[in-house]
Structure 1
Amino acid sequence: MTYQALMFDIDGTLTNSQPAYTLVMRQVLQEYGIGFTAAQAQKTFPMAAEQAMAELGIPADQFDHFQARYEAVMADHYGDIQLYPGIETLFANLPQELKLGIVTSQRRNEMETGMQPHATVMSKLAVAISADDTPKRKPDPLPLLTALKRVNVAPDKALFIGDSLSDEQTAAAAGVDFGLAVWGMDPNAAHQRVAHRLNHPDDVLQLLK
């Protein structure tokens, strides 16, 4: 398969960030007198911040305060978030002519701070779309389509690699092939519209040969 662009989700695809997310959310929610189960962590992890807060019963007028607390607590845990094994090797070996990008539900500050230690990956990117860059979030196709427009690649010439049902729905809505990052996916998710099941980052390189 010939692709001109590869777009990646971050959480659960590039980085193994769910353990840190769960720890931080549990601490911040405790301040609100709200518990946080493993099932809730699994469900809210791929959501945009506002979606997760609404799901957990945080009033809309508290969203900004909650997000500020989340970012403050997470600042102490970014060092705990590591790239999945094989991601650095993947980015080092992808063809130079490919347009690479990130499409994430993280806010820009969160994305830039969290990915700052991973300069080898970030230096390869032609585009990075955060939750602050478009008025709609995944699974709406707008963030992915915006990224592709910025690198001047048609949807049918791109592959979006992610781990969640939200990522799958985003790709489908945008008319983009979806590559399931099996290494980070929810084991209970029932993915249905998958062009490629990628068990390890090395599989991306094999796909491009």
Structure 2
Amino acid sequence: MTYRALMFDIDGTLTNSQPAYARVMRIVLAEYGKSFTDADAQTTFPMAAEQAMAHLGIAADQFDHFQARYEAVMADHFSDITLYDGMTTVFEQLPADLKVGIVTSQRRNEIEAGMRDYPIMDRMNVVIGADDTDKIKPDPLPLLTALEKVGVHPSEALFVGDSLSDEQTAAAAGVDFGLAVWGMDPNADHQQTTYRLATPLAILDVL
């Protein structure tokens, strides 16, 4: 299969951000008198902010305050987040005519703050975050919006992600899915995967 577009999730796919996420969530949730276990981190990591907060029992009228505190604390931990090994090499070797982008449940300000120092961002043709569409993953709208913006049909695209939500998004959009095994939850039951990618460099083998 020759793909004309390659779309990525961020957390657990491009960046190894779960340790920083867990650290920050423990700090912020402690302010609410709540604990945050390793199991909570595994469950909520792939979720959009509002979904994670609801799952953790944060009242809806506290969402804005919680998100603001999370972003403020995370600002001190961006240095703890790194690209996965091999990802820079992947981007250096992508075909020049391939449309590349990001489809994430992060908000725009999180994307800009967390990813701005990575040269791979210069290669992105499109970036769709949680506040760019009316619906978020696993609804297909964010992925379909990204592909529409780069003028590529879903049948000619590959979406690489680490979560069941990413897999469901790709399936609903009619897009092939590459499972980022390096960042996936080992307990997740993936059933709609086109490729199981053991390392970032495996992406180059399917293009």
TM band (smaller chain): over 0.9
Stretches of structure 1 that go unaligned for 5 or more consecutive residues are: none
Write the letter of the residue equivalent to 1:136. K
Alpha-carbon deviation of 1:206? 1.2
* SS, match of residue 160 in structure 1: strand
- The answer for the alignment partner of 2:130 in structure 1 is 131
**Secondary structure at the counterpart of residue 123 of structure 2:** coil
Corresponding residue of 2:76: 76
User: What corresponds to 1:174 in structure 2?
Assistant: 173
Q: Whole-Å Cα distance in 2 between the matches of residues 202 and 36 of structure 1?
A: 33
Q: Give the structure 1 partner of residue 39 of structure 2.
A: 39
Q: Distance in 2 between matches of 1:174 and 1:206?
A: 23
1:146 alignment counterpart: 145
Aligned to 1:188: 187
The number of equivalent residue pairs is 207
**How high is the TM-score relative to the length of structure 2?**
0.99
- Quote the offset at 1:19 in angstroms: 0.2
Q: Please give the alpha-carbon distance, in whole angstroms, between the structure 2 residues aligned to 1:93 and 1:67.
A: 37
Whole-angstrom CA distance in 1 between matches of 2:34 and 2:171: 35
> Given residue 173 of structure 1, which amino acid in structure 2 is its aligned partner?
A
Written as runs of structure 1 = structure 2, the 5 A alignment for 1:1-209 is 1-118=1-118, 120-208=119-207
Q: Distance in 1 between matches of 2:83 and 2:102?
A: 14
Mind listing any 5+ residue stretches in structure 2 that lack a counterpart? none
- Identity of aligned pairs, percent? 72
Q: Give me the TM-score of the superposition, normalised by structure 1.
A: 0.98
C-alpha displacement at 1:202, in angstroms? Answer: 1.1
Deviation at 1:116, TM superposition (A): 1.2
**Matches of 1:135 and 1:31, distance apart in 2:** 30
- Give, in whole Å, the separation in 2 of the partners of 1:102 and 1:2: 19
Q: Give the drift of 1:169.
A: 0.4
